[in-house]
Structure formats: structure tokens, C-alpha cells
């Protein structure tokens, strides 16, 4: 069993979707469907993590257009 992208897929990873802030989010603000969306390019968290992210709070200010990472949410 293999996990992760194959060498053949590496070049197209940036064309996948991922989670991004679509509005400025203040530190401590709740992440909601109005300020987090699944868009391209694929430099943030995988879209399957959207339910895990929604309802959590921002650990730091997040700017609009910034890809989400686990260290940004509490």
C-alpha cells in the first residue's frame, strides 16, 4: 500500500484544490463557511479537512487568500 502522491502526480499537485481563507480572519475568530473555501491551487489543507476546520478558532490573524495549515487553527 502506498500513501501520498506518486512521482507522476507531483507536477499536478498545485492544480488540486485546498482550503484557503477568503476573508481576513482575526486571531481567535471562528472559521466559518463564509471565510474558508476550497479553491485552487493546492498549497493548503486538503478539502476533506473542511468539516474539521469549520467551527475552530484562528490561532493567529489569517489574511484573505492565505492557504490554511494546521498551525493556524486551534
**Assigned domain for 27 exists:** yes
**Assigned domain for 15 exists:** no
pLDDT tens track for 3-20: 666 776 666 666 788 999
Domain limits at 62? Answer: 21-66
Number of domains making up the chain: 1
pTM: 0.82
**Assigned domain for 12 exists:** no
pLDDT tens track for 39-72: 988 889 999 999 999 999 999 999 999 999 999 9
**Assigned domain for 39 exists:** yes
**Assigned domain for 57 exists:** yes
C-alpha 36: how far from chain center:
8
Amino acid at each position: 500500500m502506498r500513501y501520498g502522491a506518486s512521482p507522476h502526480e507531483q507536477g499536478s499537485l498545485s492544480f488540486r484544490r485546498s482550503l484557503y481563507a477568503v476573508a481576513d480572519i482575526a486571531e481567535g475568530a471562528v472559521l466559518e463557511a463564509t471565510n474558508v473555501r476550497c479553491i485552487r491551487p493546492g498549497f493548503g489543507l486538503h478539502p476533506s479537512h473542511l468539516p474539521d476546520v469549520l467551527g475552530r478558532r484562528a490561532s493567529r490573524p489569517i489574511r484573505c487568500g492565505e492557504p490554511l495549515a494546521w498551525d493556524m487553527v486551534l
